[in-house]
Structure formats: C-alpha cells, structure tokens
C-alpha cells in the first residue's frame, strides 16, 4: 500500500489496541456485544450428542468444540476439516488417558486444562498447524460491515507474519487472553503493525481540528468617575432619591 495512505503511528497504535479488544479470543466462543437471540428464535429440536471417553469419542468432542459456530457473526469456529485435524493430533499427542487425567470432560470440552509450559507450546503448534486463524480475523472484522472485505483480508494475511495466530492458539490452551500492552510480546503493537499496512486515513475516524476561540471581550472603562452619592437608575430629586424628604 502506498506510503501516502498510511495513518500516523499514534493513531495506528490506538487502533491496534482497539482491534485487540475485539479479537483477543477469536475462536470457539468469541462473542460480540450485540444481543444474540438466535437460540431463542430458533430453538434446537435435537438432543445434544453424548461423546464416549475413548479416542474417537474425545476426538469428536474436540472437533465439535473447535468448529463450534453460531448465527451471531461476531463468533467464529474453525472449518470442520481443520478442527478435525487439530483434534486428531491432540488425541494422538496426549492420548485419551492423558486428557482425562487433566479432567477433560467430553461433554463439556475445553483445552485450558492446566498443562505445563512445554505442553502448552506443543498444543499451540498443533492448533496453528491445522487451523487457519487468519480466516477468523477476516470473518470477524468484515462481519456486520465493520471493515471492507479487502481491508479485513489484509488484516488476515498479516496475522501469521506477526505471530498473532500463535497468540490466539495459546489463549485457547491457557484460557488467558493475549496481553495487550504489557508482557514480553504484547499484542497491541503487533496489531498496529498490521494496521499500518492495511489502513489508510480514510479508514480511521477523522482528526477534528478545534475551532478558534472568540476574542476576549474587553471591559468598558468609564471616562469619568461616578459620583458615589448617585445611584444608577435613580433620578435626582425623584421619589427614589434617598436625599429627598417628603412631608407627611
């Protein structure tokens, strides 16, 4: 994108922080703030599946969890084939017993099960190796016309280059959203780097130039000093003149 269209770095950094708040956990349960009534308007007529605790049952459970979607366009789930890839490799890595030992419940699947650092890194690599997190960014940023589709696609392409796909995947395994400002690898500056390449000044809120203040009104200085015995608005010798006496 031509450099002439790039917004100032301070505006981009602020936008990066705002984008992070919107996309800090874009997979399996990232919700928008809009009121979602889909479950009320379209109640389910089928019973929830019961997953077994063997390898296939846990794989099916994890696949359903990672591919979970919603009528709310502010949510995103991985494509089923990508979710199946990640679920299969996770089960192969930990085994059914390893997952169950970490209190994995196939009926209420989740991945933030208290794994140690090396296993968190390994599971993060599995997730990023199978799931294209850039698609979540494109979907979430273009839904409800937040941004034009071309701009959202530009953001999606930048996610992997700055390592935000691993940040998203790690948040699924740890249950902790990516740190925006602090920490060793804060996410906001990385979002800002993408925004600098993808957004122009016309995509951001305008900078309003404050208007000039009117000139100060100078007080009127009287040319002659007022008579202390004369009150303004009182006619000398009139009924309100305190120096005039009236016979009873």
Q: Which tokens hold the place of 7?
A: 């917004």
- Given the structure tokens 């679920």, which residue do they identify? 87
Q: What is the per-residue pLDDT for 65?
A: 92
CA angle 199, 140, 9 (to 5 degrees): 25
Q: What is the per-residue pLDDT for 30?
A: 44
Burial class for 203, CB neighbours closer than 10 Å (0-12, 13-18, 19+) = middle
pLDDT digits (tens, 9 = 90+) for 39-67: 445 555 567 789 999 999 999 999 999 99
Question: Length of the chain, please?
Answer: 248
- In contact, 77 and 64? CB cutoff 8 Å: no
One DSSP character per residue, 194-235 reads: HHHHH--GGGSPPPPPPPPPPPPPPPPPPSSPPPTT--TT--
Cα–Cα separations (whole angstroms), residue 72 to 33, 63, 113, 144: 10, 20, 27, 10
Q: What is the per-residue pLDDT for 85?
A: 97
Q: What is the per-residue pLDDT for 157?
A: 86
Q: What is the per-residue pLDDT for 147?
A: 76
pLDDT in tens, the chain (248 residues): 444 444 444 444 444 544 544 444 444 444 333 334 444 455 555 677 899 999 999 999 999 999 986 555 456 788 899 999 999 999 999 999 999 999 999 999 999 999 999 999 999 999 999 998 888 787 777 776 677 888 888 888 888 888 888 888 998 999 988 777 776 778 888 888 888 888 876 665 555 565 566 666 666 665 666 565 655 666 667 666 666 665 55
**Closest to 162 (Cα-Cα) out of 189, 132, 198, 124:** 189
Cα–Cα separations (whole angstroms), residue 83 to 87, 99, 155, 183, 237: 6, 17, 22, 29, 101
- In contact, 131 and 66? CB cutoff 8 Å: yes
Secondary structure of 95-159 as H, E, C letters: HHHHHHHCCCCCCCCCCCCCCCHHHHHHHHHHHHHHCCHHHHHHHHHHHHHCCCHHHHHHHHHHH
Q: What is the per-residue pLDDT for 4?
A: 40
Burial class for 123, CB neighbours closer than 10 Å (0-12, 13-18, 19+) = buried
């Amino acid at each position: 994108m031509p450099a002439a269209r790039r917004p100032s770095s301070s505006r981009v950094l602020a936008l990066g922080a705002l984008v992070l708040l919107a996309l800090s956990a874009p997979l399996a349960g990232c919700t928008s703030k809009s009121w979602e009534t889909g479950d009320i308007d379209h109640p389910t007529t089928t019973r929830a599946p019961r997953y077994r605790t063997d390898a296939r049952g846990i794989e099916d459970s994890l696949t359903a969890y990672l591919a979970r979607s919603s009528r709310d366009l502010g949510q995103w789930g991985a494509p089923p084939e990508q979710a199946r890839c990640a679920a299969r490799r996770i089960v192969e890595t930990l085994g059914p017993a390893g997952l169950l030992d970490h209190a994995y419940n196939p009926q209420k699947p989740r991945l933030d099960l208290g794994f140690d650092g090396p296993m968190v890194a390994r599971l993060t690599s599995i997730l990023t190796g199978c799931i294209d997190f850039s698609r979540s960014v494109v979907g979430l940023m273009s839904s409800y016309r937040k941004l034009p589709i071309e701009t959202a696609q530009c953001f999606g392409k930048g996610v992997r280059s700055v390592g935000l796909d691993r940040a998203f995947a790690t948040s699924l395994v740890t249950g902790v959203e990516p740190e925006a400002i602090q920490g060793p690898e804060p996410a906001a500056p990385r979002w800002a780097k993408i925004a600098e390449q993808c957004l122009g000044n016309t995509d951001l809120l305008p900078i309003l130039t404050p208007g000039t203040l009117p000139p100060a009104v100078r007080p009127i200085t009287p040319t002659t000093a007022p008579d202390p015995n004369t009150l303004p608005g009182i006619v000398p010798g009139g009924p309100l003149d305190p120096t005039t006496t009236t016979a009873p």
